[in-house]
Structures are given as structure tokens and as C-alpha cells.
């Protein structure tokens, strides 16, 4: 049961992060969702797009993180980590992801404004010219969230596994 609760916690955390992230980025550039993504939702409402894509684009990340985290937290003879004990590390990861997303969004906006990066091909032709720079900001913010989430998820898993070794040593010494 604890194994499944860790997976559920990870999915819920990823989805909440995705919805909040997409509520912001949908307001920066709605075209990132209406043109840059497959037409899943027949709306241009940023709230609905942020909600829908926040779920679709993140639940599977939560599953991957959750299964890995549940394994390193629960499998084996070492002392087990509870779902509650993982709230803080997951929360810290989400906060770090948000900082990197904001930073990358600003960097993408700046680089686009200076002409250092630009849209090409079908996207460049389809997105209105005045939305190219905001589109780049969204793209960079989303890419940063995925990259930092992936790398950070591995770091969290390693730290959780190592903490179980520390817990075992403390138990043996006490």
C-alpha cells in the first residue's frame, strides 16, 4: 500500500506542478498550446488549456518518478521511507523546477528579443510574428521544467536510497 501511495503522491505532485506551470505559460503565449501542441482541446481559453495540458503533459512524469521513488524508498531490507517522508524532497524538487523554469523563460524571452534564437519552419509560419518571442519563452520554460525534473528526480531517488543506508547504520549503532 505504501508503494502505491508514493506513486500517487508523485503523480499528484507532478500534475499540480504542471497545472500551475501551464496556468502561467498559457497566459504568456496561448499559441504555445493552440499551435505548438496537437489539437486536443477545442478552446483558446488559457485557464482550460493550462488545466488540460497541465494534466496530460505531467501525469506520466509522475508515474515514472513515482515508480522509481517507490522502489528506492521501499524495496529491500533497509529501513523503509514513508510517503509522508517524501513530501519535502518532492516539494523541494518542484520549487527548484519552478526557479529554473522562470529563469529559462526569461532567458528564452531575452534571447528571442535580441534575435539570438527564433522560430523556424511551420511553427514560425503559423505563430503570429508578435507571438514568436513569448512562444520561445514558453518553450524554454517547459524544456527547463522537464530537464530539471528528470535530473532532479534522479537526484531525489539517489538521496532517498542513501538515506535508507544512513537509517540502517543509525539503527545498528543505536
pLDDT tens-place string over residues 55-114: 999 999 999 999 999 999 999 999 999 999 999 999 999 999 999 999 999 999 999 999
Q: How far is CA 51 from CA 18, 42, 54, 89, in A?
A: 8, 13, 5, 25
- Each residue's pLDDT tens digit, 88-104: 999 999 999 999 999 99
| CA 94/CA 98 separation, integer angstroms | 6
pLDDT of residue 174: 64
- Cβ–Cβ under 8 Å, residues 11 and 66: yes
| Single pTM value for the model | 0.93
Q: pLDDT over 90 for what percent of the chain?
A: 92
CB atoms within 10 A of CB 91: 12
Amino acid at each position: 500500500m505504501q508503494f502505491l501511495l508514493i506513486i500517487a503522491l508523485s503523480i499528484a505532485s507532478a500534475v499540480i506542478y504542471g497545472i500551475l506551470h501551464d496556468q502561467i505559460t498559457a497566459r504568456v503565449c496561448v499559441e504555445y498550446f493552440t499551435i505548438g501542441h496537437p489539437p486536443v482541446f477545442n478552446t483558446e481559453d488559457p485557464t482550460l488549456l493550462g488545466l488540460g495540458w497541465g494534466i496530460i503533459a505531467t501525469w506520466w512524469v509522475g508515474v515514472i518518478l513515482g515508480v522509481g521513488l517507490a522502489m528506492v524508498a521501499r524495496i529491500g531490507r533497509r529501513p523503509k521511507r514513508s510517503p509522508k517522508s517524501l513530501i519535502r524532497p518532492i516539494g523541494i524538487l518542484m520549487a527548484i523546477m519552478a526557479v529554473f523554469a522562470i529563469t529559462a523563460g526569461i532567458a528564452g524571452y531575452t534571447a528571442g528579443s535580441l534575435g539570438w534564437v527564433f522560430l523556424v519552419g511551420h511553427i514560425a509560419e503559423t505563430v503570429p510574428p508578435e507571438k514568436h518571442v513569448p512562444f520561445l519563452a514558453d518553450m524554454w520554460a517547459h524544456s527547463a521544467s522537464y530537464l530539471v525534473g528528470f535530473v532532479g528526480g534522479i537526484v531525489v531517488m539517489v538521496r532517498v536510497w542513501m538515506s535508507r543506508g544512513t537509517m540502517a547504520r543509525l539503527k545498528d549503532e543505536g
